[in-house]
Structure 1
Amino acid sequence: MAAIPALNPLKIPTTTNGETFEGFKRGYDHDHDHDQPLSPMARLFHEPGSNVYIVGIIGLKTKIKPDIFKHNLVHTLLRNPRFSSLQGKDKETGSMKWIPTHVNIDDHVIIAKLDPNMESSEKFVEDFISNLSRSPIESTKPLWDLHILDIKTSETEGTCVFRFHHSLGDGMSLMNLLLACASKASDPEAMLPGNTKKSGATKVSSLWSRLSVLWNSFVALVMFVSTALFLEDTKTPMKGSIGERDTEYTNIPENIRLRSTLFFNLRPTTEIEDVTDTSKHGTWGNKIGYALYSFKIGLKKDPLDYVRDAKAVMDRKKASLEPLFTYFFVNLILKLFGIKVAGKLNYKVFYNTTLWFSNVPGPQEKIWLFGHEVAYIAPSCYGQPNALMIHVVSYMDKLTFVLSADEETIPNPHQLSHDLQESLRIIKASLY
């Protein structure tokens, strides 16, 4: 059996002479995205309470060569119009739109300054990312950047920290973007093959299955609307929110309502597409829905019962239209009542739950990124109204759990990481 997955905490609470890029001169068609409005989901990620950034931490076993990264980013990442466009407001309509712009790669690739008196390289990397999450990306340039930490750790020769505003895309589109820029370790000249695996859409093959889907969807609809209107999780030490983090919890009720917001990919496939082909947009953007997962608080004699219960609930979630409903419902509210109302509704659902949970499938074999061997991939987010997010990503035969925790609510995320890791060990031991 594979080793226990790593559990890495991330603490959260943002012109020079470089190579430039201009879409029209590089020869690709900007007309498709020129002055086009942002999608409804992209606009939502600019609303208060949902202004979220994705952080992609990539450990490299090869010493980082910044010039190689810059050169390759110009010819890969910047050929996708989302990464070479500003997000500005239309003066007539007030809506946000993509505006192609000149990009100076040196404005986006930053070499981190190292502290000569650092306690340890691992702690420096952790603190650097935590500090980075406290600031936004300036809207005067495309909303992404790359920070290079030329520092050796126990696992790596250097660390890259990609930062994207969530309006550019969701975890699946950005993972596919990474894979489209990467090559196989077994053949550095060959691109990774496209993953044509279906995304897990609900299959309805019998009357009973159809009734089950309808019932599960109805229950999910009731819970979603109730949560958006009034149904809030129980106040616990883990349910932190702005303005309430100094609350003392002395009498926590026995019947605790503790829920997670789960995010689902709504694409029919997860096929990797050419980043330079602007006629294909299947993997780009934000095509995600979400579902609400209720935890059952209590001690069980058999540790595997936790796994069985979780699987049973997730099977019901998959046999429902809940993720599709949330996606289309938010879009419907936006069209009928505008972005502000949709944003408040979205925020209310997140605010009334306790944590976020997300996962992204990564490469199944070892990869190289611009000639640098990848040791690990660890994505996460910041800007969400919840004090805790758990993100899971696979790479080869290993799972990595990344904890994004607010320090004021969870002052010792390393202890939480240790506790979760110990729980996994107990579950594993019970198999024998």
Structure 2
Amino acid sequence: MKISDSKSMAKEEEEEEEEPVSPTGRMMQAPKFNLFIIILMGYNTKIEPSLYKKCMQQTLLKHPRFSSTLVASGGRFRWRRTAVDIDSHVFVPEVGPAAVESPDEFVADYASSLSEIPMDTAKPLWEFHILNVKTSDAEAVVVMKIHHSLGDGVSLIALTHACSRKIHDPDSLPVLPASNNPRKGGSGGAAMRLLKAVWTVVLILFYTLVDMTAFVATLLFLRDVQTPVRAGRGVKLCRKRFVHRIVSLDDVKLIKNAMNVSVNDVMIGVTEAGLSRYLNTAYEENRENGAEINEKSSNFLPRNLGIRSTVVFNLRSSPTIEDLAEMMEKEELNGMWGNIIAIVLIPFGIDLQVDPLTYIRRAKSTMDRKKLSLAHKWACVVMKLTTSMFGIKAPARMTRTVFRNTTFSFSNVMGPTEEVYLFGHHLSYIAPSVCGFPQSLIFHYQSYADKLIISIGADEKLIPNPYQLCDDLIGSLQNIKEAVIERGREKEKKNESNLAKIPK
């Protein structure tokens, strides 16, 4: 065999081990828009590092993205498969006296410090940090740091679940909640169904046009009003502080079922209510911000205060846990992985409502309208065209502008319906967040077994008390729950009264 032939074969084999980086993946590594996912995972037992690493090698490292490096050659970016030295990805730092005196603060400080440290592109873009520290809600904590170009948040959480096993059946994968969006059958005659179909098409076109206009305006000039939680133009972002609280998922489901809404609607309403409480306190403490103050009132919010949240999601269908388990077994992606993102802008009314259920009704109305809009798909097409015409810097600048001109981000992800073993240890909770983009605040809600984890990533200087924001969210959830229970009691009394009036 000629030397030239052997070189050609070697080159072909190397190319087979490479895969192009998607445009979105490249955009997520652009300057001033370098996205990382930070996940805090609490465990019910101390972590045995050797067992943890062994279980990762048997599962996670079989995923092609977690065993590939990002390489650039001639302006082209590709994923190249490589051998993984797990000791260069899993770290067990020494725990000093600070961890013993204030373990929760130590974990928060450690996770916060990771938001400032760039990742080494010479190796796969992920890290695990094992902190054998007993906190208020776990015996040990593992901080996972992953570059967002490896995948979207929902897919990465699903991958984490695919690496886990049931507590009572170690050979079985966990079960995720089933989608609760059944198609409603048609009612009425053919003429009525036709009229409804035509009206739906009209609404889709109208809402799509409205949202497209709002998106373009946000790119060009439309900015949220300045509030104590918004990092406006010219504000230098500081490192993120990651905090979380754990509440009962049953409380959320109680509200959901009583008001005939979705879990997402409930959490959007809770976010609106909690953020209103937090900002009301902030304006009270800082009256020079321009709020009209009524000394006889406890409402210090400016009138007609409205802000917006960005919701980023993947247009590619997220693989199931079973698909991911099979993919890792074969060590092939099979086209089911990658970022194809879309951005939806969600308006939030900031006010103090006498009836807490108003927040839930408003959230449902907003989301029902957004579900009819196709503007997010249009925006994705625009991003693709911009990339093909002007390169990756242009869509990165556009996406950065959308984040900068809005106030915060929102995400809600479903987890397993029962507790699991993850990498050989009993998982207590999982609290995801994101950093590396020009916003000072992000809300994540993660369900797990009978828990709902409220996770907040906040700019340390603009929002120095994110724990208070967590407390305001929990207080708002409790108020809404109590209002639902009270409404149920009133209905029961009314029904009993009506029954008493019926002649026997």
**Shorter-chain TM-score tier:** 0.7 to 0.9
User: In 2, are the aligned partners of 1:110 and 1:147 still within 8 Å (CA)?
Assistant: yes
What's the CA shift for 1:154? 2.8
2-structure distance, mates of 1:59, 1:31 = 39
Q: Which has the higher helix share?
A: 2
DSSP-derived class of the 2:34 partner: coil
List alignment gaps of at least 5 residues for structure 2.
Answer: 1-12, 186-192, 238-285, 292-301, 487-504
The alpha-carbon distance between structure 1 residues 422 and 45, as it changes in their structure 2 partners (threshold 3 A), is same
Amino acid at match of 1:190: S
What's the CA shift for 1:257? 3.9
DSSP-derived class of the 1:103 partner: coil
Aligned partner (choices 458, 461, 483) of residue 405 of structure 1:
458
Q: After alignment, is 177-186 or 48-57 more displaced?
A: 48-57
1-structure distance, mates of 2:24, 2:352 = 39
List alignment gaps of at least 5 residues for structure 1.
Answer: 1-29
Which residue of structure 2 aligns with residue 339 of structure 1?
392
Aligned partner (choices 133, 144, 169) of residue 162 of structure 1:
144
Q: TM-score, normalised by structure 1?
A: 0.86
Which residue of structure 2 aligns with residue 62 of structure 1?
45
What's the CA shift for 1:58? 0.9
Which residue of structure 1 aligns with residue 166 of structure 2?
184
Amino acid at match of 1:352: N
Q: Deviations over 1:56-98 (max 9, x none)?
A: 111111221111111122222111121111112122xx02111
Which residue of structure 2 aligns with residue 107 of structure 1?
88
Q: After alignment, is 380-389 or 297-306 more displaced?
A: 297-306
Q: Deviations over 1:355-394 (max 9, x none)?
A: 0111111111111112211110111111121000001110
Amino acid at match of 2:113: N
Q: Work out whether 1:72 is the aligned partner of 2:55.
A: yes
The alpha-carbon distance between structure 1 residues 221 and 206, as it changes in their structure 2 partners (threshold 3 A), is same
Which residue of structure 1 aligns with residue 202 of structure 2?
211
What's the CA shift for 1:194? 7.4
User: In 2, are the aligned partners of 1:199 and 1:269 still within 8 Å (CA)?
Assistant: no
The alpha-carbon distance between structure 1 residues 141 and 199, as it changes in their structure 2 partners (threshold 3 A), is farther
User: In 1, are the aligned partners of 2:154 and 2:318 still within 8 Å (CA)?
Assistant: no
Is the radius of gyration larger for structure 1 or structure 2? 2
User: In 1, are the aligned partners of 2:61 and 2:67 still within 8 Å (CA)?
Assistant: yes
DSSP-derived class of the 1:327 partner: helix
User: In 1, are the aligned partners of 2:38 and 2:434 still within 8 Å (CA)?
Assistant: yes
Amino acid at match of 2:62: R
Which residue of structure 2 aligns with residue 251 of structure 1?
290
Aligned partner (choices 211, 228, 243) of residue 237 of structure 1:
228
DSSP-derived class of the 1:348 partner: helix
2-structure distance, mates of 1:243, 1:368 = 45
2-structure distance, mates of 1:154, 1:56 = 17
The alpha-carbon distance between structure 1 residues 370 and 298, as it changes in their structure 2 partners (threshold 3 A), is closer
Which residue of structure 1 aligns with residue 246 of structure 2?
none
DSSP-derived class of the 1:98 partner: strand
What's the CA shift for 1:218? 1.1
User: Quick one: percent identity of the two aligned structures?
Assistant: 41
What's the CA shift for 1:172? 1.2
Amino acid at match of 1:319: L
Q: Deviations over 1:187-240 (max 9, x none)?
A: 012223577749999999822222211211111111111101111111111111
Which residue of structure 2 aligns with residue 324 of structure 1?
377
1-structure distance, mates of 2:162, 2:175 = 9
Amino acid at match of 1:231: L
2-structure distance, mates of 1:104, 1:373 = 25
Q: TM-score, normalised by structure 2?
A: 0.74
Which residue of structure 1 aligns with residue 425 of structure 2?
372
Which residue of structure 1 aligns with residue 340 of structure 2?
287
What's the CA shift for 1:123? 1.4
Amino acid at match of 1:263: V
The alpha-carbon distance between structure 1 residues 427 and 175, as it changes in their structure 2 partners (threshold 3 A), is same
What's the CA shift for 1:178? 0.7
1-structure distance, mates of 2:29, 2:181 = 27
What's the CA shift for 1:279? 4.1
Aligned partner (choices 98, 112, 115) of residue 130 of structure 1:
112
What's the CA shift for 1:268? 3.9
- 1:16-55 to 2 correspondences below 5 Å: 34-55=17-38
The alpha-carbon distance between structure 1 residues 297 and 200, as it changes in their structure 2 partners (threshold 3 A), is farther
